[in-house]
Amino acid sequence: MEFGAKVNKIQIDGINFIEHIQYRAFNEGTRLQSSVFCAQNLTKAKVKIAIYATNKNRTFTTSNNIQTDFVRKGKAGKNEEQRKILAKEIKKEHATRLEGSFGKKKEYYNLKKIKAKTQKSEILWIFFGIHAANALEIGRIFKIALEKAA
């Protein structure tokens, strides 16, 4: 059992945004639509890839032409081999980027065990940890861009 704030975050090019934070447990799979709308609002671009397979999410992603790594229901389509390759790449990306970023932030930005005494200070601790990590990631991106330009 976990105690404390629960966070649903979205990740855009390695930068993390808190989409939802609360103290009651929730299933992040039910937040796909709001996460997609949040990402599209931030980037002014259409979301192309999504995770978390539920029937509702399947309908949403299909109607919005969003690619997924969902396990197929029913018979295989005519492009099954291409779908499998795409799903494998999405899963690999998800495993390395998003899940890896959770562990990295917990380990390196003091988010593994929040030392706050109140809900407000705990939320502040989480925000500072995520945004400090974002600042360092943006710095890395700029450094790489400068090295390529030189």
pLDDT of residue 84: 78
pTM of the model: 0.69
pLDDT of residue 107: 63
Mean pLDDT by 10 residues, the chain (150 residues): 77 87 84 91 85 84 83 74 77 64 62 75 85 90 91
pLDDT of residue 81: 81
Contacts of 88 (CB under 8 A, 6+ apart): 69
- Round to whole Å and give the CA distance between 18 and 9: 4
pLDDT of residue 37: 92
Contacts of 124 (CB under 8 A, 6+ apart): 116
pLDDT of residue 79: 78
- Round to whole Å and give the CA distance between 12 and 17: 8
109 within 8 A of 132, measured Cβ to Cβ: yes
pLDDT of residue 106: 64
pLDDT of residue 129: 83
Three-state DSSP at 9 gives strand
How is the chain split into domains, by residue range?
6-149
